[in-house]
């Protein structure tokens, strides 16, 4: 073994255990630096009679009862009692409660402001939480546009003809980031290239972003990070929600959500989405559509059951996405006369999560099931891809404690079934993967030090046994300073076809790998979060650094042969270094500021030489400004992103010479939006790429799209100029008696 490490679970299976509520109780001081935690403060729920006492660091944990809402009372000798109404939404909250001396006047009023973007302090891992309020700061029409106000995740356009986008974390392709839908692995396999477009942001309740290896409970594929997407819950969502959107390019979208109670124990939620881009735009006059004509339909139906001894969540998700791109003269069928792009994606999946509460306190069993069927038919000029995927997933977890809640453990078993058929031109890569696995983890929650350690082992029917140990630590240096560290291993089986389907938009031939073996990486890193108060206003400084080292990797080499894309196994070094600094500060109640800088050093051996990966800017700057009026009727937000130079692949030009522009330009993108709230309505108007920066000639040899020198994948900046959009949101809340 190269390392001796134990592993982690970062996100517990939400339905596999009773929901916990955590918090910290402080005593008030006029000087914030003198504020101290209260030990042995009593915290109890009135109706359920659950209770706990705070530790020496003021922290407490409570198990939420099935019947909510409930009233939580916090009391301590010498202080005035405080009360908090606890609802189901508080399963994901961490409280900081300040008790005031009983010598203070009764007129004292406490106010708090919830942040739409925050680091979850009670988590052992460094978890960045994005709420639905943060998502509203941008157009946020689908998941690929949900990270515009975030510095940790980049979303890149893969080519200039298909409109596909991929996320990128720590400078590494999105395939190395495990994406989950409520702790169920999602957007894998055939869905990885186009699935981001088919989940509207209006369905999302929150997004949690974790850098480094994720938890062993939910799988082995988290290598560079983990993104968990929480959709609105049927028992909590609006009775009716409508969202409409239109932009200057003619893209129109309508989203519909509704949640309602079927019985005392059953609730249901429906989500629907429809969007279309009917017009063809060619503003750079290269005879190619600047973006494809797109039609997308999606529907999602979920149910929730809450009983005395068990709870369950189940649902079905389906979507159809069809896009037509390429030359403006292409009508969807005339492939012989014009270069056309035609992509048809169809998807349906069903999931279920069941949790069983055992008689032994704080012990439970949870089981997660998921089944998916996906097809992708893609044509790029005279090149074709056809793929079909049948996937099954099951994960069973036993959750318990050792003596008390300071020592917790989880053990379980999982299974993955993937039947994948895919063909690209004359290449074929069909495979049947069956991967059973087992895992275990231990969690220690001390006064200052917390740790999650665990390991999982999986047996792949083709590649044999693989192990993934992981360890995560958190140390509270002071009341305001937290240190975190993480180290762990991740692995995945590469899919060179669908992972790189955008490279079909080039005249280069594909040189398939001789053999395919699992990609394996080790990730080590840590973060520092310092909270402060300046001029009586709260702020924070965050710094994190992560190093990813690959033992084996499928390398996509565009430098070894200017006429080909070469796929081969790593022969040498491949690594990623990521440094990010972020400052968040609210100089006024209505004003929020965030500034960030990110440095990426991502290199591997290409053409026999250690070089930077293409299309990865070394430097990135970020600033976000949000303002809300006192009456909360008006909101304004602006985001500025600056992208540094990135290395570009070398191409053969139409005259036979080699390209000389080895690096992209430095450029900035400015997005802004203003929102007006009127009763149950919200109206918003915004602009993207307000500076109107456009990459000139994004397609090489656009005049000869069927030639070997044609290349539409050398895209490093927007290919269209400023976009103006407008929209509305209308919502009717659930009746209070149904909460």
Residue 118 lies in a domain: no
Residue 206 forms beta bridges with which residues?
131, 230
Evaluate whether residue 69 is within a structural domain.
no
Q: Does residue 673 contact residue 686 with C-beta atoms inside 8 Å?
A: yes
For 276-303, write each residue's pLDDT tens digit: 999 999 999 999 999 999 999 999 999 9
Which secondary-structure segment (H or E) carries 132?
Answer: helix 132-135
| pLDDT tens readout for residues 90-102 | 665 678 888 888 7
> Who contacts 678 (Cβ-Cβ below 8 Å, separation ≥6)?
633
Cis preceding-peptide flag for 69 (omega within 30 of 0): yes
In sequence order, the 6+-apart residues with CB closer than 8 A to the CB of 326 are 161, 288, 289, 292, 338, 339, 340, 341, 381, 705
What range defines the domain where residue 421 resides?
127-738
- pLDDT tens, residue by residue, 580-608: 999 999 999 899 999 999 999 999 999 99
Has residue 409 been placed in a domain? yes
Compute the average pLDDT of residues 533-550: 94
* CATH value at residue 504: 2.40.170.20
Spatial separation of the C-alpha atoms in residues 591 and 727, rounded to whole Å: 24
Percent of the chain predicted with pLDDT > 70: 94
- Least confident residue range of 26-35, 120-129, 203-212, 679-688: 26-35
Count of domains for the chain:
1
Give the model's pLDDT for residue 53: 84
| pLDDT tens-digit readout, 113-159 | 557 778 888 888 888 988 888 888 777 677 877 888 888 999 888 89
CA-CA-CA-CA torsion sign (203, 208, 212, 214):
negative
Outline where DSSP puts E strands in 248-339.
252-261, 266-277, 293-306, 310-326
Percentage of the chain beyond pLDDT 90 is 64
Secondary structure class of 532 (helix, strand, coil): strand
Residues 6+ apart with CB under 8 A from 328: 280, 282, 287, 288, 289
Residue 698 in any domain: the answer is yes
Mean pLDDT over residues 27-40, rounded? 74
Residue 288, pLDDT score: 96
Query: What tens digit of pLDDT does each residue of 664-698 get?
Result: 999 999 999 999 999 999 999 999 999 999 999 89
Q: Which of 516, 520, 517, 604 is nearest to 557 (CA)?
A: 604
- Taking residues 438-464, report their average pLDDT: 94
């Amino acid at each position: 073994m190269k390392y001796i490490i134990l592993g982690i679970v970062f996100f517990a299976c939400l339905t596999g255990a009773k929901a916990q509520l955590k918090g910290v109780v402080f005593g008030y001081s006029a000087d914030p630096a003198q504020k101290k935690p209260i030990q042995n403060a009593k915290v109890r729920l009135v109706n359920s009679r659950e209770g706990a006492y705070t530790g020496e660091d003021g922290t407490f944990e409570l198990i939420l009862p099935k019947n909510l809402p409930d009233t939580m009372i916090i009391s301590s000798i010498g202080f005035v009692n405080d009360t908090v109404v606890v609802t189901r939404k508080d399963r994901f909250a961490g409280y900081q409660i300040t008790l005031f001396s009983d010598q203070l006047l009764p007129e004292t009023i406490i106010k708090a402001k919830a942040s739409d973007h925050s680091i979850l302090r009670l988590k052992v891992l460094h978890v960045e939480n994005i709420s639905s309020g943060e998502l509203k700061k941008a157009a946020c029409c689908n998941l690929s546009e949900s990270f515009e106000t975030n510095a940790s995740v980049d979303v890149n356009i893969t080519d200039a003809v298909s409109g596909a986008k991929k996320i990128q974390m720590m400078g590494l392709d999105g395939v190395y980031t495990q994406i989950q839908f409520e702790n169920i692995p999602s957007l894998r396999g055939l869905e990885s290239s186009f699935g981001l477009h088919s989940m509207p942001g209006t369905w999302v309740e929150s997004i949690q972003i974790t850098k480094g290896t994720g938890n062993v409970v939910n799988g082995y594929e988290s290598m560079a990070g983990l993104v968990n997407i929480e959709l609105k819950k049927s028992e909590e969502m609006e009775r009716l929600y409508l969202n409409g959107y239109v932009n200057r390019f003619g893209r129109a979208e309508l989203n519909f959500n509704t949640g309602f109670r079927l019985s005392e124990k059953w609730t249901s939620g429906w989500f629907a989405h429809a969007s279309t881009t009917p017009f063809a735009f060619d503003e750079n006059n290269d005879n190619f559509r600047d973006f494809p004509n797109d039609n997308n339909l999606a529907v999602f139906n979920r149910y929730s059951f809450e009983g005395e001894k068990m709870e369950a969540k189940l649902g079905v998700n389906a979507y159809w996405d069809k896009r037509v791109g390429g030359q403006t003269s292409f009508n969807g069928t005339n492939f012989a006369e014009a270069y056309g792009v035609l992509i048809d994606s169809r998807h349906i999946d069903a999931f279920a999560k069941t949790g069983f509460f055992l008689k032994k306190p704080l012990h439970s069993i949870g089981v997660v099931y998921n089944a998916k069927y996906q097809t992708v038919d893609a044509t790029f000029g005279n090149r074709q891809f056809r793929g079909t995927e049948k996937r099954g997933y099951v994960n069973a977890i036993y959750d318990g404690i050792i003596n008390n809640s300071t020592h917790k453990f989880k053990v379980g078993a999982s299974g993955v079934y993937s039947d994948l058929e895919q063909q690209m031109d004359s290449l074929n890569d069909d495979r049947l993967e069956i991967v059973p696995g087992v895992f275990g983890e231990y969690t220690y929650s001390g006064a200052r030090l917390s740790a999650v350690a665990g390991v999982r082992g999986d047996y792949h029917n083709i590649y044999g046994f693989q192990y993934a140990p992981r360890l995560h630590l958190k140390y509270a240096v002071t009341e305001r300073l937290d240190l975190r560290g993480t180290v762990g291993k991740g692995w995945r089986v590469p899919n060179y076809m669908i992972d790189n389907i955008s490279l079909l938009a080039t005249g280069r031939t594909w040189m398939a790998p001789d053999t395919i073996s699992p990609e394996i990486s080790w990730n080590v890193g840590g973060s520092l979060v310092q909270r402060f108060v300046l001029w009586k206003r709260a702020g924070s400084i965050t710094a994190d650094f992560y190093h990813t080292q690959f033992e084996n990797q499928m390398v996509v080499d565009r430098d070894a042969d200017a006429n080909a894309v070469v796929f081969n196994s790593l022969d040498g070094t491949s690594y990623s270094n990521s440094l990010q600094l972020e400052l968040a500060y609210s100089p006024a109640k209505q004003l929020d500021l965030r500034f960030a800088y990110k440095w990426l050093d991502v290199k591997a051996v290409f053409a026999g030489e250690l070089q930077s990966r293409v299309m990865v800017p070394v430097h990135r700057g970020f600033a976000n400004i949000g303002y809300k009026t006192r009456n909360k009727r008006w909101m304004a937000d602006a985001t500025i992103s600056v992208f540094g130079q990135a290395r570009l692949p070398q191409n053969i030009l139409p005259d036979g010479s080699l390209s000389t522009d080895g690096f992209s330009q430095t450029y900035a993108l400015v997005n802004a939006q203003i929102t007006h709230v009127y009763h149950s309505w919200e109206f918003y108007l915004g602009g993207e790429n307000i500076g109107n920066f456009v990459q000139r000639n994004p397609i090489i040899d656009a005049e000869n799209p069927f030639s070997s020198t044609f290349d539409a994948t050398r895209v490093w900046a927007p290919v269209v100029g400023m976009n103006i959009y407008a929209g509305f949101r209308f919502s009717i809340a659930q009746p209070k008696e149904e909460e």
